[in-house]
Amino acid sequence: MDLKINKLPVPTWNWLKVNDYQVAIPEEINEASYRINTKDVNLQSVQSFADVSLEGIEIGAGNEFKSISDKNSAKVCAVNVNKDTVVKEPIRIDFDYSKEENAFSKFAIKLENKSELTVIINFKGNPSFGGNDIRFSVAEDAHLTVVEIFDFEDNSNFIDSIGGSLEKIGGLKLMQLNRGLGNVALSCYTDLVGDKSTLDIDTGYLVRGNDRLDINYVAKHRGVSTDSKIKASGVLRDNATKTFRGTIDFIKGAKHATGDEREDVLLMNEGVHNNTVPLILCAEEDVEGGHGATIGKISDEILYYFEARGIPEDMVNELMAQSKLDAVSGRIPDEVTKEQLLNRD
């Protein structure tokens, strides 16, 4: 069946073809196999998101994908961090989709007051269809960091959808790094309910060949003095296509809220297709929102500079592309993961 995901909250002209992303969903989807490495936190397997009170949460990919997820038989891997608990070591999760043609996974993360947790997820393999649904609840003065690294093989198709809420002074830091092949859809819906809650999204990507990357981020500001920052930086090569949707939504009553979204895109070839759709919705006057995008090619001056020093254009392209990914990798708040990415062959 065909499914529309990553819908723009307020549609624009249909002929622009940026309102949503259509994907094919197979009839039968198995439970994804994964390996979890954690010492400081206990995880449990439950039947549904309802068992951890996260069923009603809105997610980035949208209600149609949420319905598919809720009906899927895969169990939910749930983690609850108790009040006043700072988990020092990250939870590390490794997926290998080379064993399952169609596979799905679900995670529920609940942080109680003044707790902290970091989750690092690595995805690899070549799924004909892969799906991941993460729902979170961050209580007062709690802080959640999620790092996702997508390193799929050619002809892969994957959907990653995140959604949750932040209470007073609660924070989510989401880092996503897409450096593999295949068609990937990323999304995150964050409800900034509590006053002074914060959202920080930092994404890096390299899309090449005929692959597609589709991104949909929504920051829903409800609390007073909430703050969201959405930053994406990437490279398009060959005949690749990328669509970025970033929505900052200031709800009535979200006084003194601030939001900013930025994208920096490097176009390597004439055949690439880039869509950047920044959107700010405002029902509250006393707010501050900004957006911007830098889209372009490597300048002739830079090429001349390198070539004058014996570095050919092809190598310059590789260096510039890698630098985009390395910049995001260098900001990952985990030395083990950072070293693996920056020192890989």
Answering whether pTM is above 0.75, one says: yes
Q: Would you say residue 224 lies in a domain?
A: yes
Which is more confidently placed, 302 or 9? 9
- What are the pLDDT digits (tens) for 11-34? 999 999 999 999 999 988 999 888
Per residue in 122-136, pLDDT (tens digit) is 999 999 999 999 999
Is 160 inside any structural domain? yes
Report the C-alpha gap between 118 and 88 in whole angstroms: 8
Residue 344 is predicted with a pLDDT of: 66
What are the tens digits of pLDDT across the range 23-65? 999 988 999 888 898 877 888 999 999 999 999 899 999 999 9
* Domain extent at residue 99: 2-299
Q: Which two tokens stand for residue 227?
A: 């703050």
Residue 326 within a domain: no
Q: How open is the CA angle 333-150-154, to the nearest 5 degrees?
A: 160
51 in any annotated domain = yes
Q: To 5 degrees, how large is the angle CA 186–CA 189–CA 192?
A: 145
317 in a structural domain: no
> Domain for residue 93, yes or no?
yes
- Give the total number of structural domains in the chain: 1
Quick check: is 324 in a domain?
A: no
What confidence score (pLDDT) does residue 34 get?
Answer: 86
Burial of residue 279 (number of CB atoms within 10 Å: 0-12, 13-18, 19+): middle
- Residue 343 located in a structural domain: no
